[in-house]
Structure 1
């Protein structure tokens, strides 16, 4: 509650950010072209980047590869969110 998505929620990965850059409605990031198709072995980053109205939030992503069954994370360190305070 009280958070919105600030950035694209997913994008390709290479030397720089590569297409597709997938946003949500109103984010300023366009949907991929209608003929775009995810292909096996594409490398993607999924990153929701939730932020509040004051611009405070979290920049975190999961780098992974597209597989025949979906998405496989390439991270080996477990993702956890410690709570402070």
Structure 2
């Protein structure tokens, strides 16, 4: 059973929060700027493939797995 206080966030909102965390870690030196750039790029790509306006908790495992091979091919062909 899911707790009653769960926030139903869209993929875009989660990407924004993740970006804030990555920037914070980069500013403290806990994360290298080059790594932060790769992480940010990957999460933006995931949002585009998964659907930025979809609620993250509503994504099925199948939907996530479907996006992964496409993302991997996109990364390798650049």
TM, length-normalised to structure 1: 0.27
Which structure's residues are more often helix, by fraction?
2
Which structure's residues are more often strand, by fraction?
1
TM, length-normalised to structure 2: 0.29
